[in-house]
Amino acid sequence: MAIATTNPATGETLKTFSPDSDALIEQKLAKAARAFESWRKTSFAERAQRLSRVGALLEERKDALGRLMTLEMGKLRKAAVGEIEKCAVGCRYYAENAERHLAPEPVQTDARRSEKRFQPLGAVLAVMPWNFPFWQVFRFAAPATMAGNVGLLKHASSVPQCALAIEELFRDAGYPEGVFQTLLVGAEKVQKIVEDRRIVAATLTGSDGAGRSLGQAAGAQLKKTVLELGGSDPFVVLPSADLDEAVKVAIAARIQNAGQSCIAAKRFIAHQQIAGEFEERFTAGMAALRIGDPSDDATEVGPLSSKQVLDEIDKQVRRSVEAGAKVACGGKRIDRPGFFFQPTVLVNAEGSPAWTEEVFGPVAAVARARDLGHAIALANDTPFGLGAAAFTTDAREIERLTDEIQAGSVFINGMVKSDPRLPFGGIKASGYGRELSAEGIREFVNTKTVWIG
């Protein structure tokens, strides 16, 4: 795949980059190995000072970095700036909490002293996607470097300028050379890099296919991985819900990032008592969304990130209609420059490709549930298990939903989101391991047992 900046709003390729040569990759791996030997010995206070500086630089540069995101992958300007601000919050969280999360834990045994210690592993490879070009990276980089590891970023080939800008942030914040580096390489180079003895672990955010590939390569080398993969999140609406709020959040949850989010709500399940009204209001809201230039703050839905993504969404919608789903609104690509698709609602969608596959665009699949048990069964009717949302004010329903929905997170009366204070990740085909919170920083450490007699 070419490493290039292509503006999704126009389809114009603006800048191309030469991939790193094998010799340059070798130099970067050697730098990472050398950097780890000294970085692992730094204090938490020293690491926190540098990560706090990264957070400050993110805040200072948020407008320019936001424009870069809008240019490379079509994110709405306000959302892009918000993503940069969230990265700064993540940096502050780990600067303030890493030492506490990794403090030795005494355990009472037959020893004079015994405890658990958490120590860094080494150079970790991060294979990251284009849809949240900064936040996905910082979810890895902030905890990994605060733990004393060093990072090598293989970013999506469509966001090279974002990748280089992140490396520049670490450099400008005073990190020693080699602690965080960007590799400008295509996917075909990943296996060889994973196999290198200096890479001790890997993390990937992306499709389940990409996760299987990385997992197999790392597993063959007995190297730890964290995989945050796709999702087909359910959004359940029950009769006791505040329907005004449920419809408003449902629209926002489906069209965030033009629908290109692993935790975007994708399958909407309405109880039969309120299904007709929900479908009518949800469809009207989706149809009324303003589509256009992502740099214009009046725009509510921008372009998809690439022609490849646009073509795939178009095929999934057509296949879903052939399988029996009905188009309530949208359903077509938009005849204009760039990669735009109409916000789409498919009703009677249960069992169609829009229901069984991850649809990475502004397409909602809607089904009706007979009762709470049926709603939970429909929510779990997916190979994925990343997030789930449900709207109800009934305490008994809340308990069953949070207990029985099979997902890494369940949000009641709110939209699924990531938060540095809460662990993030999925089950089933959505991957394994956790990012963020204490669980995230402990993924790439050696939990060492110490026993002193």
CA 345 – CA 231 distance, rounded (Å): 18
Using the structure block, give the residue that is written with the tokens 């296919």. 209
Structure tokens at 429: 């085909």
Q: Tell me the residue type at 270.
A: A
Query: Shortest CA distance to 286 belongs to which of 251, 324, 316?
Result: 251
Catalytic residue among 72, 83, 228, 357: 228
The angle formed by the CA atoms of residues 202, 204 and 210, to the nearest 5 degrees, is: 115
Q: Say whether 262 is catalytic.
A: yes
Helix (H, G, I), strand (E, B) or coil at 3: strand
The number of helix segments (H) and strand segments (E) in the chain equals 15, 20
The sign of the dihedral angle between the CA atoms of 46, 48, 50, 56 is: negative
Q: Is 85 a catalytic residue?
A: no
Of 87, 262, 329, 350, which one is the catalytic site residue?
262
From residue 248, give the alpha-carbon distance in Å to each of 218, 253, 281, 282, 307: 42, 9, 9, 8, 29
List strands edge to edge, sheet with 123-127: 180-183, 150-154, 123-127, 199-205, 224-228, 431-432
CA distances from 219 to 213, 214, 257 (A): 10, 8, 33
- Which tokens belong to 318? 């057509």
Enumerate the H helices of 259-405 as residue ranges.
275-287, 307-322, 353-356, 372-379, 395-404
Active site residues: 228, 262
